[in-house]
A and B are shown apart, each in its own frame.
Chain A
Amino acid sequence: MKKFTKVTSSAVPLPIENVDTDQIIPARFLKSITREGFGENLFRDWRYDQSHEPKSDFVLNNDIYKGSILVAGANFGCGSSREHAAWALVDYGFQVVISSYFADIFKSNALNNGLLPIRVSEDHLEEIFKAIESDPNASFTVDLENQSLLIAQTENLIQFEIDAYKKMCLLNGYDDIDFLISKRDEIEKFESTYKVY
């Protein structure tokens, strides 16, 4: 996993609630056996029409919005456990997703792939959408070390929560698996004392 420290970027607005994993990456594109290449089909059915032409009204097809930060409505990532949703966002180039609410499994999948989900209040989300609306180039700075999100336009510095262990993983580029493997002895000891039917 790549280390995550600081990101300064403009953001792509997606002011829709309940963006589910079937929208992020439809099931028919899950047939790959590698982790790469899913970005091409990110938001496939919102992004392309039936004849595979880009839909001009979808934000990813609008050149004025760019950047490695996606800002979305509440309950982002609900639906299936498919990690392909996180892979697709990362593969497309996103490093951060901001929402007022994330679905549990999505959040954990994102963190396992170096994609930082930042939960902000409804009011702050509104403020961020407004900033982008008034200036598509509005800049945001995410500082993981200090757990802060700076809205350059309003000079508002928002603190966000992330659990200490996950923060350490992201900053150092570690995954859970490295940690668990280091605990194999303890796991074997547990197995010898425990009974399951």
Chain B
Amino acid sequence: MGLTLFDKIWDAHVVAQIEGGREILYIDKHLIHEVTSPQAFTGLQSRNLPVFRTDKTIATADHNVPTINQHLPIEEPLSAKQVAMLVENCKDFGVELYGLGHPNQGIVHVIGPELGITKPGMTIVCGDSHTSTHGAFGSIAFGIGTSQVEQVLATQCLLQMKPKKMRITIDGDLPPNVLSKDIILYLLSKLGTGGATGYFIEYAGSTIRALSMEARMTICNMSIEMGARGGLIAPDEKTFDYVKGRAFSPQGALLYEAITYWKSLFSDEDAIFDKEIKYSASEIAPMLTYGTNPGMGIKVDQQVPIQTDHESPESFSKALNYMGLKSGQSLEGMSIDQVFIGSCTNSRIEDLRIVADFIKGKKVAANVKAQIVPGSKQVEKQAIEEGIAEIAEAAGFEFRQPGCSACLGMNEDKVPRGKYCVSTSNRNFEGRQGPGARTLLASPLTAASAAIEGKIVDVRKYPS
């Protein structure tokens, strides 16, 4: 019987099998950040242990950093303390840190790929659920809790049960102005937030193959929103081209050797998945969420439903009540207050280029506060060099410094109570962007058009 892409990578990393079906899984790269690591370092200290493999551990500050005046001390005392703790821990334990002000700093899932830390065939973990992003390179990447962060720091390993495998195949051409974010929001609307619990997803099909690396990352990023442990895509020439020449990429003969190996990473024709689902790209449209979980999404020209299969009537009406929306209502044409372009889902250079192309020469509507928060220092630098920052500011967007920002509202970037924010991030939970904030998840193009028009519009009606 053939092997899946997932099996090939997983099996190569099993140190030992133990009773009861658990396996000791070796981790190639461990990414850490300020929010989920302090208690893990404290654990190491109390056990008097060093970091087992410092060369496989990289840290950055992203979750609660301010997105303006990053050269000044952090004003909010608790955030300042957490970031200072990270600096201290990294120094004490000998871990490489891309902290505030470092040219490599940024959202942990943006910097991994852009520095060439993320490569095919790897196992990658981080104390953050959107670690699934890195799966776009054909790696097994998943989020872990702080106790597991401590385990990996201490042993470079985790105890894991091998998850089940699911393949989602999407074939055909996407309609104009429909982006990879729309694909994943569409999948979520079909499968719900628990639809892939217990599975690791492989995304396949001609639609996925045709996507750029950055677009693939957006899809893998939100795998966790369907309850999956992670998502991955078989590496191909696009993957190899992307990885080549980056700071942590292999070079010369080693690169050649690596690519030869990476080319063996695909699901065999006779591989068996525990579950298979197929969709056609032509049925996908610009998507928006209307509720308080990412599975509550509709096509831009549809109406808010009366009920879904995934929520009980009580939960459903609680969500609509929070959002201030009614069944049967259209989102298209609805007035909005804020636009957030950022987060590890959509803050890479390609996302910013899409936004810049759309807003160039236009003005943000008077009723809208619009922000672009680049995913990393490198994205920020590139956006300035390419004139994107200038286009954004001329249009009336704020162009901020890198960090997680309004994705989770840990810093001062929050959406005020009751306000509607069209956001390119990944979660629309109650209070996620601030207490009482109402989030509508969408693609960068739908978000950009909402900023300019001051309301939700169907981007298919614009030239692509």
Q: Measuring CB to CB, which residues of chain A are less than 8 angstroms from any residue of chain B?
A: 15-18, 20, 22-23, 26-28, 30-35, 45, 50, 73-75, 78-84, 86, 101, 103-105, 108-109, 112-113, 163-165, 175-177, 179-181, 183-184, 186-187, 190-191, 194, 196-197
Closest A-B pairs by Cβ, 4 of them: A31-B78, A197-B258, A83-B145, A81-B143
B residues less than 8 Å from A18 (CB atoms)? 193-194, 293, 311, 315
Q: Is the CB of A28 within 8 A of B155?
A: no
Among residues of A, the one whose C-beta sits closest to the C-beta of B41 is: A33
Give the Cβ gap from B256 to chain A, nearest Cβ, in Å.
Answer: 11
Decide yes or no whether B72 CB sits under 8 A from chain A. no
Among residues of B, the one whose C-beta sits closest to the C-beta of A16 is: B315
Which one, A16, A28, A34, A163, contacts B314 given CB within 8 A?
A: A16
Q: Is the CB of A22 within 8 A of B21?
A: no
Decide yes or no whether B127 CB sits under 8 A from chain A. yes
How many of B's residues come within 8 Å of A, CB to CB? 80
Report Cα–Cα, A176/B154, bound state, in Å.
Answer: 11
Q: Is the CB of B293 within 8 A of A184?
A: no
Give the secondary structure class of A's interface: loop
B residues less than 8 Å from A81 (CB atoms)? 36, 127-129, 131, 143-145
Q: Is the CB of B145 within 8 A of A78?
A: no
Q: Is the CB of B36 within 8 A of A186?
A: no
Please give 20 more A-B residue pairs, beta carbons under 8 A apart, in addition to A108-B148, A197-B250, A197-B257: A20-B293, A22-B427, A23-B429, A31-B64, A33-B81, A78-B227, A79-B429, A83-B39, A101-B194, A101-B197, A103-B227, A104-B197, A105-B129, A176-B151, A180-B159, A183-B16, A186-B16, A186-B24, A187-B15, A190-B15
Which one, B13, B122, B151, B429, contacts A177 given CB within 8 A?
A: B151
A residues less than 8 Å from B197 (CB atoms)? 75, 101, 103-104
Give the Cβ gap from B363 to chain A, nearest Cβ, in Å.
Answer: 32
Among residues of B, the one whose C-beta sits closest to the C-beta of A164 is: B20
Q: Is the CB of A105 within 8 A of B143?
A: yes
Report Cα–Cα, A7/B86, bound state, in Å.
Answer: 38
Report Cα–Cα, A189/B441, bound state, in Å.
Answer: 47
Which one, A27, A31, A86, A196, contacts B408 given CB within 8 A?
A: A27
Give the contacts of B243-270 with A (CB-CB under 8 A): 250, 254, 257-258, 261-262
Interface centre among B24, B127, B163 (most CB of A within 10 A): B24
